[in-house]
C-alpha cells in the first residue's frame, strides 16, 4: 500500500505539536518542509522535525535525497481555508493561474476571508471573490 506523503506529514507533525504550512518537492529528490507552531519556530524545532522524519522515511521506505525543514518566514504561504480565516485583515500578495478580467494575475490586497471555496480579497477598493482553484499562490506581505 502506497503512503500518502501529505497525509503522513500532516498527521505526524500534528502529533508533535506542529502545523505543516507547505511542502515543496524539488528536483534531485529535494523535499522542503515548512512548519509552524504557536509562538513560532526556532532552529531546535527544525532539527527535531528533521531527525524524526529522517527515521520515519526510512521505516516507511520514502525516497528522497535531501530534507530541509524551516519556518514559513514572514512572507508565509496562505493556502488552507483555516489560514484564510486566521490571517483575515492582513496584507497579502496574490498570484493567480489565470488573469482577472482586467488582465491582472498578480496584485497586493487585504485578505478578507474565505467562503464557499472562494478567497475574499480587497484590492484597489474592489472586493474580489477568487475561486480557490484559480489561486496559484497567496503569501503574507511582511510589514516592516
Q: Tens digit of pLDDT for each residue in 37-64?
A: 999 999 999 999 999 999 999 999 998 9
Question: What number is the average pLDDT over the span 114-132?
Answer: 94
Angle made by CA atoms 64, 69, 73, in degrees to the nearest 5: 140
Portions of the chain given CATH number 2.30.30.100? 81-140
Average pLDDT, rounded, for the chain = 93
- What pLDDT does residue 95 have? 96
Q: What is the pLDDT of residue 2?
A: 54
Using a cut of 0.75, tell me whether the model's pTM lies above it: yes
CATH number corresponding to 81-140: 2.30.30.100
pLDDT of residue 3: 67
Contacts 24+ apart (CB under 8 A), 116-125: 119/84, 120/84, 121/92, 121/94, 123/94
> Which triple of cell numbers denotes residue 74?
514572514
User: Looking at residues 109-126, what average pLDDT do you find?
Assistant: 95
Q: Where in the chain is the domain with CATH 3.30.300.70?
A: 5-70
**96: CB partners within 8 A, 6+ apart:** 104, 105, 106, 130, 134, 135, 136
Strands 30-36 and 66-70: parallel
Q: Place domain 5-70 in its CATH homologous superfamily.
A: RimP-like superfamily, N-terminal (3.30.300.70)
pLDDT of residue 1: 47
Is the pLDDT reported for residue 35 higher than 80?
yes
Q: pLDDT, tens digit, for every residue of 86-101?
A: 999 999 999 999 988 8
Amino acid at each position: 500500500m502506497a503512503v500518502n506523503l501529505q497525509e503522513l506529514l500532516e498527521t505526524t507533525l500534528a502529533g508533535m505539536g506542529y502545523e505543516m504550512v507547505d511542502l515543496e518537492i524539488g528536483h534531485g529528490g529535494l523535499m522542503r518542509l515548512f512548519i509552524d507552531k504557536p509562538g513560532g519556530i526556532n532552529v531546535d524545532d527544525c532539527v527535531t522535525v528533521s531527525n524524526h522524519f529522517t527515521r520515519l522515511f526510512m521505516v516507511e521506505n520514502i525516497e528522497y535525497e535531501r530534507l530541509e525543514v524551516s519556518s514559513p518566514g514572514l512572507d508565509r504561504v496562505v493556502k488552507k481555508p483555516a489560514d484564510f480565516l486566521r490571517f483575515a485583515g492582513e496584507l497579502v500578495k496574490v498570484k493567480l493561474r489565470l488573469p482577472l478580467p482586467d488582465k491582472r494575475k498578480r496584485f497586493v490586497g487585504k485578505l478578507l476571508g474565505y467562503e464557499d471555496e472562494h478567497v475574499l480579497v480587497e484590492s484597489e477598493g474592489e472586493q474580489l471573490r477568487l475561486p480557490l482553484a484559480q489561486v496559484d499562490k497567496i503569501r503574507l506581505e511582511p510589514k516592516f
